[in-house]
Amino acid sequence: MTHIFQVDLSGLIDLLSQHLYSGPQVYLRELLQNGADALRARENLEGRAPGGICVEVGQQQGRPLLVVHDSGVGLTEEEVHRFLATIGSSSKRGGGDFIGRFGIGLLSCFVVSDEIVLRTRSVRGGPAVEWHGKADGTYTVQLLEEDLPFGSQVTLLCKAGSEDYFDPEQVRSLCVRYGDLLPYPIRVGALDGPLEICNAQVAPWARSYASADERDAALRAYGRTLLGAEPFDWFPLSAPSSGLEGVAFVLPRSAQAGSRPTATLYLRDMLLAERDEDLLPPWAFFVHGAFNARTLQPTASRETLQQNAVFRATRHELEVGLRAYLEGLAARDPERMQQLLRLHHLPLRALAADDDAFYRLIALHLAFETSQGRLTLAEILRSGGPLRFVPDLDQFRQVAQIAAARGEVIVNAAYTYDATLLEKLNRVFPEHRAIRVDAGGIAAGLEDLSPAESAEGSRLLAAARHALEDLDCEPRLKRFAPAELPALYVLDREANAARNRQRSREVSDALWSALLDDLTETDSSGARLYLNFDNPTVRQLARLEDGPVLRRVVQTLYLQALLLGHHPLSTHELDLLSGSLAEMIGWGLRAARSLN
């Protein structure tokens, strides 16, 4: 035996309001959709759609009342029975340039009203019809003798608790929100009072402008409305596969890494979503789109899109357009491109580090701190030879002065994602080479002294070894630029780790201090103090006899090199600094007294 499903309409209404739709306010969107689809149907039938949609707010028996009428195609008696008595049936089934489904859309009105009265007259002929539906699932249909104008009129009487959705200002705001781009005028006002058109009827990007400047000003004003701030930039963006047209606005604020791109999305002129997160490619988080599509398909809630083949083709075309914008911006206005990369530097770097295709697109435009100032990757590669980078900030500071004086480019890759981005160069752009270096490797290239100079500096070197004996630092004599730099302190990776453990031991409790002591016992020093034989002070020191003054000056040069390299001083080094200052002040005072 065949049975027929029974539908609990009150349960279905609860499902619509609590789970399918984002909120009760969508009832007005559904009524506007039905009106717009009816006007399109009449336009297809007769070649024109006179009038538009009227939305009137009033009172009946002390309760808010809403009346929405359109001059569209209307329904016949048979269509009323067929489409309004069967849940899920639609007068628009089969496609066409329609937005929604009349039956399921009208049901959404039960979210805010216990009764719906539809009065309609079809342009195809037949008498006017009145359909009166109730939330309990019952309805009546009667033919009307009066000669109604072609179209449909829906009347809703507010149910308790829904008064806010019948507020005149709220109704007008919702009409603008959902129907601003509908090509038919939406007139809003008080029942039996004057009505005013509230919608623009055409998208800002689709209007005609007297000049490019006027267009730019209008779209920037529209961007300010969407973003709440002046957009960094805007550019047209389209997808022919779905008839999508619109613009993309570059956000004026830095987006967080991992955030998704958003779009204000219209479907056949009706607002579908104010913050759609699916249509734009995930890497385009730095833009907000505003689009109107023709052939994309909505889901049942009409607040998101079906992710079918047309959707995927559209997203691919948008991705191509976004890449073209970035490439074009870099070519025609490199400084503006740098401003964009600085504005969204961290999330853009994060994406480039993770996505090879995006890396190819922007890598050469990314800027890095180097020993020759801030340079783009393209400028660094033009300097010739392999790209050398130091992933540790302290080590970069140690060698930056020397590299700069020698005209060499060393990249500071200590900042987030930079080392990953530079190492990726070898794989994505195999014609280039990036190598990781450290301060020790750079120092290994310092110029050795001649035999005569080594002999001249031997006394200084011996004194320096004695002065630095308890500081785990080996002195070396070299020549390097700039000559103004008397000493360079260099740590290899192991020595740097050991120094950090020593600093931690000094500020930790007994348990951690003991543990760090055990680790420190295995450390072998890789610290070097390079004394610059080209520096006048160092040359003068080489002529001094070994003694307290020479050793104290060497220790002072050691401390200066630590500070120039931004190395925190240990407790022992702080004591040494205090002692050196006190001793030198004493020497100065004694020298002053002897002169007097």
Binding residues for ATP: 30, 34, 70
- Asked if 291 and 237 count as a contact pair (C-beta separation under 8 A), the reply is yes
| Long-range contacts of the stretch 466-470 (C-beta < 8 A, 24+) | 466/546, 466/551, 467/550, 467/551, 467/552, 467/554, 467/555, 467/558, 468/529, 468/554, 468/555, 468/558, 470/572
Which residues are documented as binding site?
A: 30, 34, 70
Spell 567-590 as b/e; 16+ CB within 10 A means b.
Answer: beebeebeebbeebeeeeeeeeee
Asked if omega into 482 is within 30° of 0 (cis), the reply is yes
Which pairing describes strands 434-436 and 387-390: parallel, antiparallel, or unpaired? parallel
Whole-number Å distance between alpha carbons of 28 and 174: 7
Assess contact for 259 and 347: CB atoms under 8 A.
yes
- Classify residue 68 by its DSSP letter: E
Strand ordering across the sheet containing 113-121: 139-144, 128-134, 113-121, 151-158, 63-70, 53-60, 186-190, 195-197
CA atoms within 13 A on the CB side of 242: 33
- Distance between first and last Cα of the chain: 126
The neighbouring-strand residues paired with 233 are: 250
Would you put residue 130 in left (φ > 0), alpha (ψ -120 to 50) or beta? beta
